[in-house]
Amino acid sequence: MPYKVFSSLQSITKRLKTSNFVRNVAMVGGGIAAGQAIALAFMPFLTRLYGPESFGIAAAFAAIVNIITPISTMGYANAIVMPESDRDAAAVARLSILCGLIIAPLSLILVHVGKPWLAVWTGMEKAPQMLYLIPLTLVIGAFLSVTNQSAIRASLFKAKARAYVESKLFTDTSKLIGGIIAPSELLLILLTIIGQFTNFLMQMLRVPRTGVLKISNWFGTDGVRNAAIEQRDFAIYRMPQSVLNAASLGLPTILLTSLFSASSAGQYSVAVLVLGAPVMLLGSSVGEVFYPKITRAITAKSPSAYKLLFKVSAILFAVGLIPFGTMMIFGEYLFSIIFGQEWVVAGNYSQWLSIWLLSNLVTGASVATLPALGLQRFLLIREVFSVILRATALYVGFKFFESDVIAIALFSIVGFLLSLSIVYVAFRHLFKNSKDWKLIYDNESI
C-alpha cells in the first residue's frame, strides 16, 4: 500500500513538471511573487516615512483612477485574447488604443468640472491640481492593458513577469529614496504613475515586435468597426462590470477619506495591499494562464472543463487558507510589530478583510470561466448589486455604529457572500454544460 501511494505521488509530480499549464503558472507566479516580495520588503520602511495620511490620499486617488480606467479601453483590451487570427486581434488592439486616446481628453474636462467634489473624495483639498494627473494615468493604463493582454495571447509570460518585477523594484526604490528626502502624497502618486509606464516600457523591450505586439499595428482604423461589433459584449457587459467592481472595491477608501479621515483610508489601503499579495500572486498568475485554457476547453465543448475549474478552485482555497487564516487570528498583533504601532488599526481591518479576500482568491477561477460561458450579463448584474450592497454595508457601519471597523467587517461579509454567488453560478452552468458535452462526445465516439 505505501509503495502504491509513493508511486502515485511520483506520477503526479512527473505530470506537474511536464505540464505547460503548471510551468506557465509558475512563471507568472514567480514574477508576481518577486514583485510582491519587493513591495512587502519596502513596506515597513515606507510606512514609517510617509504615514497613514499620505498613504490614504494616494490610495483615494488610485481608487478614483481604478474606477474609470476600464472606460479608457471600453473593456476591449480584455478581448485581445479572443480572436483566432493575429490580424483580428490587432484590430481589437487598435480599437482599445483609439478608445484610450478619445477618453483621456474627455476625462480632462470632467476632472476640471468635478474638481471640487473629487478633491473632497480623495482628501486633496489642499492640492486639487494633482487631479489633473488622471488623464495621463488613463493613457498609460490603456497602453499597458493592451500590452498585457497581447503578451498573454502570445504566451509571453516570462517577459511579462520580468517587466512587472523591474517596474516594482524601480517604483519602490524611488519611493524609499523620495521618502527620505521629501515624503509627500504627491510623490507617491507620481511614482506610481511612472511605475506603470516603466512596466509598459520594460515589457515592450522584451517581446518580439510582430503580430499583435507590433506597436505600429496599434494605430489606425483598419478593422476597428468589425472588432467593435464582434467583441461588443466586452463593451456592453465587461467594461461596466469592471467599473462597478472597481467602484465597489474603492468605496471603503473613498468613504473612509470623506467621512472619517485620510488617515483611516491609509490604514485600510495598507491592510489591503499586504493581504492582497497572495490574491495577486495566485489569482493573477493562475487567472492569466487559466483564462485561455478554460476558454479553449469550453469552446471545444470538452467534458473535462468542469473538473478543471473544480481542481483549480480547490488548490486556490487550500493554498490561500494558510496566509489568510493566520491574519484572521493574529492580524492586529502582526501589523503593529511589522509596520509600527500607528498601524494597529490596519491590523484590525485585516482580520475581517481576510474572510473576503480568501473567497475572492478562490472566485478568480470562476470569473475567468464566465465570459466563455456567455455569462457577461450576469457579471454586470452581479456588480450592480455588489455596489449597492457594499455601499449599504459601509453606510450602516458609518451611520448607525459610527465605527470604521464595523463598517469594514460588514463590507467584508457582503464581499464573501457575493463571491459565493459567482462560484455557484459558474459551477452550476459548467456542470450542466459538461453533461451535455459528454453526451455529444459519447455519441460521436459511437
User: Is the residue at 18 inside a domain?
Assistant: no
Asked whether residue 222 falls in the same domain as residue 345, the answer is no
- Domain tally, the chain: 2
Section 290-295 average pLDDT: 68
Long-range pairs of 396-403 with CB within 8 A, sequence gap ≥ 24:
398/255, 398/259, 398/260
CA–CA separation, 5 and 407 (whole Å): 49
CA–CA separation, 284 and 245 (whole Å): 16
Task: Report residue 439's pLDDT band, with 50, 70 and 90 as the boundaries.
Answer: very low
Asked whether residue 195 falls in the same domain as residue 264, the answer is no
User: Is the residue at 70 inside a domain?
Assistant: yes
Long-range pairs of 424-428 with CB within 8 A, sequence gap ≥ 24:
425/366, 425/370, 425/375, 425/378, 426/309, 426/366, 426/367, 426/369, 426/370, 426/373, 426/375, 427/306, 427/309, 427/310, 427/366
Between residues 162 and 280, the one the model is more confident about: 162
Asked whether residue 79 falls in the same domain as residue 125, the answer is yes
In tens, the pLDDT along 237-256 reads 788 878 877 887 787 888 88
User: Is the residue at 281 inside a domain?
Assistant: yes
User: Is the residue at 428 inside a domain?
Assistant: yes
List of residues 6+ apart from 145 with CB closer than 8 A: 72, 73, 77, 78, 96
Containing structural domain, residue 317: 231-446
Asked whether residue 174 falls in the same domain as residue 265, the answer is no
In tens, the pLDDT along 171-181 reads 999 999 998 99
Asked whether residue 214 falls in the same domain as residue 241, the answer is no
Section 277-288 average pLDDT: 64
Among 186, 205, 230, give the residue marking a domain's end: 230
Residue 27, pLDDT score: 57
Dihedral sign for Cα atoms in the order 110, 113, 119, 124: positive
Asked whether residue 223 falls in the same domain as residue 269, the answer is no
Asked whether residue 369 falls in the same domain as residue 394, the answer is yes
Among 181, 213, 230, give the residue marking a domain's end: 230
Residue 4, pLDDT score: 46
DSSP 8-state assignment for residue 125: T
Short-list 256, 160, 261, 142, CA closest to 207: 160
Instruction: Say what percent of the chain tops pLDDT 90.
Output: 15
Task: Report residue 444's pLDDT band, with 50, 70 and 90 as the boundaries.
Answer: very low
In tens, the pLDDT along 89-126 reads 888 889 999 999 999 999 999 888 888 888 877 777 77
Asked whether residue 254 falls in the same domain as residue 226, the answer is no
Residue 31, pLDDT score: 63
Asked whether residue 282 falls in the same domain as residue 425, the answer is yes
In the numeric block, the cell 457572500 is attached to: 417
CA–CA separation, 107 and 116 (whole Å): 15
Mean pLDDT, the chain, rounded, equals 81
CA–CA separation, 107 and 140 (whole Å): 14
